[in-house]
Structure 1
Amino acid sequence: MAEQISTKPYFIRALHEWCTDNSFTPHLLVGVDAQTKVPMGYVKDGEIVLNLNYAATKDLHIGNEAITFSARFGGVSNNLYVPIDAVRGIFARENGQGMSFQAEPQSEITSDQSAVSKEIEGVVNDLPLVEGKSKEVKKPTLKLVK
Structure 2
Amino acid sequence: MSESSTSMTSHRPYLLRALYEWIADNGMTPHLLVDATRPAVQVPAHAVKEGKIVLNVAARAVSHLEMGNDFIRFSARFGGVSHPVNVPVGAVLAIYARETGQGMALPEDASLEDAALDEASSEQPESAAPSPQLSAVPSDPPDGDDDGPHTPTPRRGGHLRIVK
Question: Quick check: TM above 0.5?
Answer: yes
Identity over aligned pairs, percent: 48
Shift of 1:100: 0.3
- Correspondence for 1:60: 65
Return the alpha-carbon distance in structure 2 between the equivalents of residues 19 and 72 of structure 1: 21
Alpha-carbon displacement from aligned partner over 1:46-105 (angstroms, at most 9, x marks no partner) = 100000100000000111101000000011110000000000000000100000023453
**TM-score scaled by structure 1?**
0.70
Q: Does 1:23 align with 2:31?
A: no
Return the alpha-carbon distance in structure 2 between the equivalents of residues 101 and 90 of structure 1: 8
Return the alpha-carbon distance in structure 2 between the equivalents of residues 75 and 55 of structure 1: 14
Which one has the largest radius of gyration? Answer: 2
Q: Does 1:34 align with 2:11?
A: no
Give unmatched runs, 5+ long, in structure 2.
120-164
- Correspondence for 1:79: 84
Considering only aligned residues, what root-mean-square deviation do their CA atoms show, in Å?
1.4
Alpha-carbon displacement from aligned partner over 1:15-60 (angstroms, at most 9, x marks no partner) = 1001111100000000012310000101011100000100000000
Q: Could you tell me which amino acid in structure 1 is paired with residue 15 of structure 2? A: F
**TM-score scaled by structure 2?**
0.62
Q: How many residues align?
A: 108
Return the alpha-carbon distance in structure 2 between the equivalents of residues 44 and 38 of structure 1: 12
Which has the higher relative contact order, 1 or 2, with Cα contacts under 8 A spaced 6 or more apart? 1
Q: Could you tell me which amino acid in structure 2 is paired with residue 51 of structure 1? A: N
